[in-house]
Structure 1
Amino acid sequence: MPLLSIVLPVYRVQAYLRECLDSILQQSFTDIEVIAVDDCSPDHCGAILDEYAARDRRLRVVHLAENVGLGQARNVGMRHVTGEYVWFVDSDDWIAPGALAAVADRLHTTDPDVLVVDYSKVWWNNKSARSKLSNLARAESLPMVFTLAERPNMIKLFHVAWNKIFRREFLVRNEVAFPTGLYEDVPVGYSVLILADRIAVLERVCIYYRQRRQGAITSTPGYRHFEVFEQYDRLFALLDRIGERAAPFRGAVFARMMYQCLLVLENRDRVGRSHQQEFFAALAKAYARHVPADGYPMPTGRERVKHLLVARRAYTFWLFSRLSFALRRSVEGKAKWLQRKVRLRSRLRMAYYRFQLRRPMDEGLAVFSTYWGKGYSCNPAAVYEKMVELAPGVRGVWELKSGVTAPSEVDSVTIGTLRHYRMLARAKYLVSNVNYPGWVVKRPGAVHLSTNHGTPVKAMGVDQLKHPAGIRGMNMNWLLKRCDRWTYSVSPNAYTTEIWERAYPCGYETLEVGYPRNDVLANATAEQVADARARLGLEPGQVAVAYLPTYRDYEFGTDALLNVGRFADQLPPGTVLLVRVHHFDRTIVAGDHPQVMDVCDHPRVEDIYLAADMLITDYSSVMFDYAVLDRPIAIFASDWDTYRTTRGAYLDVFSEGPGVAARTEAELVELFRSGAVSGEQAALTRKVFRKRFCYLDDGRASERVVRRVFLDQPVPALPETGAVPVVAIEQLQELRTVEDDSQPRESPTIDDDAREGAVLTH
C-alpha cells in the first residue's frame, strides 16, 4: 500500500498534461500511485495518459465512456485508491520539485486527517503570487496539529480540494464525496476542516495553480456560474446534518459565501454584464436563505457596503458604486487610449480603412498572405489552390509587398494601397501563415485562418517568456490579442496541437489535419521530382544534399553553422550542396564554390525538398516536412546546448530526431563517408519519427482545410495509416525496410468500471 495516492481528473488539458504528469512521476519520493481519470476528454489526453502509463506502473488510467464532470471524476478515482492518503490534483496544475518528499515527511510527523499545503498562482505570462497561507499561519501561531475549533480563523483557507491531502479512512468514514456541477469544492472544502480531528499545515509551496488565459471553465462566462448557489445550499444542508460541531462556524462560512459570490459577480470572465442583475438577485436570495439569525462577521469599508446592498436587494445602488469605482480607476488608461486612437485616425489611409469597415462584408472574398506579404508560398498557397478547385464561389486575392509578384493567374494587391485597405476591411476570409497587423479588425462573421508555418522544435508564443533571448522586445500581450482573432488554427499533428494550445492560449478551433504545404510532397511523382531538379539547374546523375539551417535569436559563433565550402570539399565528386538559410538570416554566403548552389532566393522551398536526395538541418521545422519524403536526414547541432538553454526546445534533436546527428563538422563528414546517414539504423529512426509526426501527411490536408473553412463542412476522415513516402530518385541508395515488431500493449480492465462505462489501464 503506497503512502500517497494522487487522483488526477483529466479533461481537455492536453497542452498541460505532460507537465503535470512529469512533475509527479519525476519526484524523488516514489511511494505513490497515480489514478488518472480520463473524463471522456475529446482531445489527446487519453492517449497521453496511456503513453505515460506504459512507461510507469505507478500510473493507472480510468477511461470513462461519457463526461461526468470534475466532481464525479474525482469520486471515480477515489474508488481505485489504495494509499493511506489521497491528494486530488487538477491536471492543468503541477507539483513543485521536492514537494512529495516534504509532504511525506509532514504526514509521518503529524499523522493528520487533513494536511493543508501552500501553493502559488502562476499566470500565463509567468508572473506568480504565493497564497496567503503563510501569513495566516503566522498570525495564528499554529501548532503542528490542531482542530478548527482551536483555530477558527483557518476557515479562511482556500476551500479547494487540491491544496489539501486527506487521510483515506477519514474520507470514507465521513462519506465525503464531491457533488456534480461547477464549484464542486465548496461543500467538501469547508466541511472537511470542520470534521477533522487533526489538521496540519505545510508552509511550503507544493503546487503551482495555473491561471490560464483562456479555456478554463472558471474563466468562461455563462450560466454555469450560477451553480455556486446550489453548492452553498448543499454546504449549509451538510452543516445542518453535522449538527453541533458545525454550529460555531456557520457565520464564518456565510461570510465566505458572500466573499466568493461577490468575487464571481464582479468578474466579467464569469458573469457577463447581461447576467449581472440576475446573479445579484440570486445572491440576494441566497443571503436571505442562509444568513445566521445571530449574525455573522461583517467586513468593514467598501466590502461592508456591498453586503448591505445585497441584503437590501439594492442592485441599482450596487451598480452605481461599481461603475463609479471603475471610472476612477480607468481615467488615466482611458486618456492614453484616446490619444492613441486620435493618432491612428489622423492617418488618411486608416480613416479610409475604418470607412470600409462600415460597408457590407464581401462574403465571397478571401485575402491571403505569406510571411507579411513576402511572396506566394507555404500553407496559404496550398489552401488557395485547393480553394480555387473546391470553392469556386470564393475569390482569393494575395497581399504582396511592393515589387513582389505572384503567378500570373493569381489576383494580387500591393500592401499599403487603398485597394489593399479596402480588401482587408471587407473580406470575409483572412488567411495567413503569420499574423496580420494589430490594427486589422476582425468583423462579426469574419473568418481568420491561421495556417501556421512549421512544426515547432524551439519554444514559441507564451513559452518564449521562459527564454528571453527569443523574444527580442516582443510584446506578448499584443501577440496574443492578434491570435485572439483566429477562427481556425491549422496543426500538422497531435504533438503540435498540444504546443499551440499552450503557446497561443486563445479561443480558436484547432484543425489537426496535417500541413497543406506538404500535400505536394506526399503526392509527388517521379516526373515532378525531375521537374524540380531541372528548375534548380541540377544535372542528371548529380546527388543533391540540401542544407537548411534555422535562425538564431542570439549571438553565436561561426561554428554554429556549417562551413559550406569546406564541407562541400569533402563530399564525393558529383555531389551538390543546396544552401538555403532562414529568411531572417543571410549569414551564409555560398560564394562561387563549384559544388555549392545558393538557393536562398528560389521561390519554392518544396522544389528544394523534392530535388534533394538528403537533408542537413539543425533545429528547423524543415525536418518534419522533408521527413514526408522518407529520405535521409542529418542533424548538425554544434550549438545545441546553447540553443536549447537560450531559446528553449520541445524535443531533443539527438534522441528524438529523424535520422543521424552530429555536434561537429568532422562527425558530420564521417556520417556521410561511412554511409550511416542512409543506413539501416537511420532508416529505423526515421520510421519512428514519421509515425510520430507525419501520420497526417496523406496529400489531403488542403482539402480538409478548405472543406471545413470555406464550405463549412465537417473535416473529412483522417488517414488511418502512416504517410505515403515518395519513392526516391535513382541516385539514392536503396534503403532496406526495417520492420517494427512492437505490438500495441493490451490494457487490463476492471469489471466494476466496465459496467459503469470506465476502463482502467496500467
Structure 2
Amino acid sequence: MLLSVVVPAHSARGYLRECLESVTGQAPGRGGPPDLEVVVVGTDAPGGAPDLAIARECAERDPRLRVSVLEGPWDTGAARNAGADGARGAYLLFLDADDLLLTGAVAGIRARLAGERPDVLTLGHERADWWGRTLPDDGLPAAGNQLVRRAFREAHGLGFTEGPFGHVVPVHRAVLLAEDAGTLASLDRICVRHRVRRPTGAPGREHFAVIGAYEQLAAGAGGDRRVQDARRAHLLAVLGDPGRVAPADRAAFFRAAGLPGTYTAHRVREAARAGRTRAGAAARAGRKSLRAQAMRAVYRADLRRPLDPRLAVYGAYWNRGFACNPAAIWTKAREIAPDIRGVWVVSSRHRDRMPPGVPYVIEGSRAYWRTMATATYLVNNTSFPGGFTKRPGQIYLQTHHGTPLKTMGLDQLPYPALTNGVSFERIAAHTDQWDYSLSANPHSTETWDRVYPSSYEHLPYGYPRNDALRTATAERTGKIRAELGIAPGTTVLLYAPTHRDYRKGYVPRLDPEELVAGLGPGHVLLVRAHYFYGRTADTSPGDGVVDVTGHPSVEELCLASDALITDYSSLMFDYACLGRPVITYAPDWEAYRASRGTYFDLLSGRPGDTPGAVATTQRELLDVLRSGAWRAPGAEALRAAFRRRFCPWDDGRAAERVVRRVFLGEAVRPPGHP
C-alpha cells in the first residue's frame, strides 16, 4: 500500500466528515488492491464521542477507513503516533481533522513517487480562513505539509511529542534529516488546504509551549542555522496572533522566547511595518464614538437596570409572531417553569398573528428596548431586531428553524449573488452572542458547529416544535381535519414548496387544480406557500384545493395530512418523524443545487438522503400518486432510513429538555443516552 492518511479526531465534528470524504473521494489507482487507507484516531474521553460517531459512520461506508480509539486522556501527538503505529502504507500523511485533501492530490502524489522514493516529500499547500479567503503561506511547520516514508520515520524515531505544538520537533527533524541525506523532494502542486478556524476561546498561556518545543528541537540539532531561523519565524507568528497570546502576556512571551531587543522596540517596528499610525487609531476611535452616540438614549439607561431573573423574551421568523421552536418552548415553560414570564417580539404588521393571552411587545418600541435590556433569557429561531447589546448575565438560546439541506452561515460564502448583501461579519458577531444552539439531529450539529463557529454549547435535544407531531392523538388529528372542512375518508396531501433564492416572488411549479383533477374524487390538496411570499399562495380555490398559507400552525397541517409533497423545504425533516410518506417533487433540482449549494443529493435514492418517492415533472408526480409508488415498500424503506438519520431525538420531550436545561439549570441527558 502506498499511502496511509492519519487523522486525529477530537472536537472537530463540523469538519471531520468533509476531511475524510476529501481523502476517500480521491480517484483510485489503476488495477490491483487499494493503494490508500485512512486511519482515524478518536477518543471516548469527554468531547470525543461526536467525532468517533462520524468516523465510524464513514468507516461503515468505505472499507479503506479504519477507526482506532486512543486510550487515556486526549493528546493530538499521542493520537498521531497511535495511528502511525497501526498504519500499513509505505508513506504517512498526517492531516488535521479540519484539513482537506484537494481533488487530484493522491494522483499527483502517486505520479511523483513513481520514479523515486524520497524519505520526505513536501507538499504544496494553502491556508483558508473561516470566510473562505486564501491566506498567504506563513511558512510554519504543519504535519499535513509533508509525506514521510514510514520506515524512515521509524528508523529515526520521528514520533510526535505530547502537549501543544507536538508537531514541531518531528516535522522539522524529518526535513533536516532528509535534506542532509539528499532524500528530500517536493511536489509542486497544491495538495492540502488547511482550514483556519475562527477563534472561539480566549488566548492563554498554553501557547508559551512553542518556546519549549523549539528548545527541544535545538537541543538535538546543535546550532543549526536552519533551526534558529525557523524558531524565530514561528515564535514571532505566535506572538502576533491575537487568538493565542493575550496583550497582557505578550511582553512576558517575548522575554521567555529570548528574542533580541525589547518588546517595546519590537512593537514600534511592527507598527511601522504595518503602516499603523496614531491618526488612524484616533479615526477608528472617533467612528466608534459616533456609533455609540447613535444608540438610543433610553436603551442606554435601561442597560443600567438590573436584569429580571424571571423574564424571557421570545422571537421567531424575523418577528412574524408566535411560531416554531420558541412557541413550543414558551408553552412548556408555562407548565414546568411558571415563574418565568415570557414576552414575545413581533412586528407591527404581524401583531394579529399573536394568539389571545400571549404577551408581546412591538419591535422598535420603547417596551421592546426595555425588554431586551432587562430580560435574562433570550430565545429566537433567527435574530432579534435592532442590534441589541447582549449584557453579562443574559442567556441566549438559538433554536434555529430547520434542518439544513441548503448551505447555511459561512458555507454560503461561495454563493454571493444569493446573499443580497448579507454581512457575514454580522452573522459571526451574532453567533458570538449565543450561549446555546439547539440541534434537531446529528447532521444539524455538525453543520452548525462549522458554519456558525463560536463557543456556545450544543443542545442535542431534538426540535420542540415536533413534540406536537409525536404526541398527537387520533382525536386531535380528526379535530384538525374537521376544522379544515375535510370529510372523513379523504386522502389529504400537503404541498409545501420552499422559496427559490434565484427567483423573485412566488412562482409555482405545480398546477394544483390539474393535479387534483387527475387524482379524482376523494383527494384534497392543501397548498402552503413559503412565508417569504406573504399569507396566500394566490391559488384559485376549487374542489379539492385549499390554500392554507395563512394557517397559523404548520404542525397542525402536517397532522391533518396523509402525505407531504415538497421540494427542498426543511419541513420534510420534521414531517419524517410522523412516519408518513414524503414525496419529493423537484422540477429544478440542478438549478437549485447550483445556485445555493446543498449538503447532500436529495434525488440520489441513497438511504438516508432521499425520503421516499421522487418526481421531477408534474406528470411524474401524478404517476407516483396514481400508481401507489408513494407508499410502496421501496419508498417506505427510504422513508425509514431518512427518519433514522434526521429524527433520532424526536420523542415528544424536546421542549421539556430545553426548559429544564436553560431555564431551570438542570443537568439533562440527551435522548438515547443512559
Whether TM-score is above 0.5 comes out as yes
- Aligned residue for 1:238? 220
| Aligned with residue 47 of structure 1, among 53, 60, 66 | 53
| Aligned with residue 276 of structure 1, among 218, 227, 250 | 250
| Aligned with residue 709 of structure 1, among 647, 662, 668 | 662
TM-score (norm. length: structure 1): 0.82
**Separation (CA, whole Å) in 1 of partners of 2:270 and 2:590:** 53
**Separation (CA, whole Å) in 1 of partners of 2:620 and 2:431:** 42
- Aligned residue for 2:367? 419
Structure-2 change in CA distance of 1:613 and 1:330 (3 Å): farther
TM-score (norm. length: structure 2): 0.93
Structure-2 change in CA distance of 1:4 and 1:545 (3 Å): same
**Shift of residue 445, structure 1, vs aligned partner:** 1.7
| Aligned with residue 336 of structure 2, among 377, 381, 390 | 390
Identity %: 40
Q: Does 1:377 align with 2:359?
A: no
Q: Which runs of 5+ in 1 are unaligned?
A: 133-156, 241-246, 288-306, 310-314, 722-762
- Local SS of the residue matching 1:109: coil
- Local SS of the residue matching 2:459: strand
Alignment map for 1:259-408 (pairs within 5 Å): 259-284=233-258, 287=259, 307-309=260-262, 315-318=263-266, 328=276, 331-332=279-280, 335=283, 338-339=286-287, 342=290, 345-346=293-294, 350-403=296-349, 404-405=351-352, 406-408=354-356
Task: Tell whether the 8 Å contact from 1:437 to 1:482 is kept in structure 2 after alignment.
Answer: no
| Aligned with residue 468 of structure 2, among 498, 517, 520 | 520
Q: Which runs of 5+ in 2 are unaligned?
A: 30-34
- Local SS of the residue matching 2:502: coil
Q: Does 1:465 align with 2:413?
A: yes
Structure-2 change in CA distance of 1:220 and 1:423 (3 Å): closer
| Aligned with residue 228 of structure 2, among 240, 254, 263 | 254
- Local SS of the residue matching 1:669: helix
- Aligned residue for 1:614? 563
Task: Tell whether the 8 Å contact from 2:203 to 2:242 is kept in structure 1 after alignment.
Answer: yes
Q: Does 1:181 align with 2:158?
A: no
Structure 2 letter corresponding to 1:509: E
**Shift of residue 214, structure 1, vs aligned partner:** 3.4
- Local SS of the residue matching 1:626: helix
Alignment map for 1:625-664 (pairs within 5 Å): 625-654=574-603, 655=605, 656-664=609-617
Structure-2 change in CA distance of 1:590 and 1:341 (3 Å): farther
Task: Tell whether the 8 Å contact from 1:114 to 1:199 is kept in structure 2 after alignment.
Answer: yes
Task: Look at both structures and tell me which one has the larger radius of gyration over its CA atoms.
Answer: 1
| Aligned with residue 225 of structure 1, among 207, 226, 238 | 207
Structure-2 change in CA distance of 1:565 and 1:333 (3 Å): farther
- Local SS of the residue matching 1:275: helix
**Shift of residue 159, structure 1, vs aligned partner:** 2.2
- Local SS of the residue matching 1:183: coil
Moved more, 333-342 or 632-641: 333-342
Task: Tell whether the 8 Å contact from 1:438 to 1:482 is kept in structure 2 after alignment.
Answer: no
**Shift of residue 330, structure 1, vs aligned partner:** 7.4
Structure 2 letter corresponding to 1:432: N
Coordinate RMSD, CA, aligned: 2.3
Task: Tell whether the 8 Å contact from 1:433 to 1:451 is kept in structure 2 after alignment.
Answer: yes
**Separation (CA, whole Å) in 2 of partners of 1:557 and 1:582:** 10
**Separation (CA, whole Å) in 1 of partners of 2:389 and 2:274:** 26
- Local SS of the residue matching 1:206: strand
- Aligned residue for 1:533? 481
**Shift of residue 679, structure 1, vs aligned partner:** 2.0
Deviations 1:677-702 (A, max 9, x none): 12222222111111111111100100
| Aligned with residue 101 of structure 2, among 87, 95, 99 | 95
Task: Tell whether the 8 Å contact from 2:402 to 2:570 is kept in structure 1 after alignment.
Answer: yes
Deviations 1:86-106 (A, max 9, x none): 111112101111111111222
**Shift of residue 382, structure 1, vs aligned partner:** 0.5
Moved more, 322-331 or 92-101: 322-331
Q: Does 1:679 align with 2:632?
A: yes
Structure 2 letter corresponding to 1:597: V
Structure 1 letter corresponding to 2:325: N
- Aligned residue for 1:84? 90
Structure 2 letter corresponding to 1:683: E
Task: Tell whether the 8 Å contact from 1:9 to 1:39 is kept in structure 2 after alignment.
Answer: no
**Shift of residue 205, structure 1, vs aligned partner:** 0.4
**Shift of residue 539, structure 1, vs aligned partner:** 2.9
**Separation (CA, whole Å) in 1 of partners of 2:357 and 2:88:** 68
- Local SS of the residue matching 1:443: coil
- Aligned residue for 1:63? 69
Moved more, 6-15 or 636-645: 6-15
Structure-2 change in CA distance of 1:43 and 1:720 (3 Å): closer
- Aligned residue for 2:2? 3
**Shift of residue 711, structure 1, vs aligned partner:** 1.1
Structure-2 change in CA distance of 1:103 and 1:324 (3 Å): closer
Moved more, 618-627 or 564-573: 564-573
Structure-2 change in CA distance of 1:214 and 1:569 (3 Å): farther
Q: Does 1:199 align with 2:184?
A: yes
Task: Tell whether the 8 Å contact from 1:491 to 1:515 is kept in structure 2 after alignment.
Answer: yes
Structure-2 change in CA distance of 1:337 and 1:386 (3 Å): farther
**Shift of residue 325, structure 1, vs aligned partner:** 7.6
Task: Tell whether the 8 Å contact from 2:463 to 2:654 is kept in structure 1 after alignment.
Answer: yes
Q: Does 1:165 align with 2:113?
A: no
- Local SS of the residue matching 1:328: coil
**Separation (CA, whole Å) in 2 of partners of 1:674 and 1:354:** 65
Structure 1 letter corresponding to 2:327: A
Q: Does 1:19 align with 2:18?
A: yes
Moved more, 661-670 or 553-562: 553-562
- Local SS of the residue matching 1:253: helix
Aligned length: 657
**Separation (CA, whole Å) in 2 of partners of 1:261 and 1:565:** 70
**Shift of residue 278, structure 1, vs aligned partner:** 2.9
- Aligned residue for 1:747? none
Q: Does 1:32 align with 2:36?
A: yes
**Separation (CA, whole Å) in 1 of partners of 2:329 and 2:38:** 44
Q: Does 1:695 align with 2:648?
A: yes
- Aligned residue for 1:569? 517
Deviations 1:492-547 (A, max 9, x none): 00011111112211221111110000001101111211222233232333322110
**Separation (CA, whole Å) in 2 of partners of 1:28 and 1:686:** 32
- Aligned residue for 1:312? none
Q: Does 1:436 align with 2:380?
A: no
Task: Tell whether the 8 Å contact from 2:96 to 2:144 is kept in structure 1 after alignment.
Answer: yes
**Separation (CA, whole Å) in 2 of partners of 1:324 and 1:128:** 25
Deviations 1:98-128 (A, max 9, x none): 1111112222323211111110111222211
Task: Tell whether the 8 Å contact from 1:35 to 1:59 is kept in structure 2 after alignment.
Answer: yes
| Aligned with residue 509 of structure 1, among 454, 457, 468 | 457
**Shift of residue 611, structure 1, vs aligned partner:** 0.7
- Aligned residue for 1:497? 445
Deviations 1:707-755 (A, max 9, x none): 111111112341469xxxxxxxxxxxxxxxxxxxxxxxxxxxxxxxxxx
| Aligned with residue 546 of structure 1, among 486, 494, 506 | 494
Structure-2 change in CA distance of 1:207 and 1:676 (3 Å): same
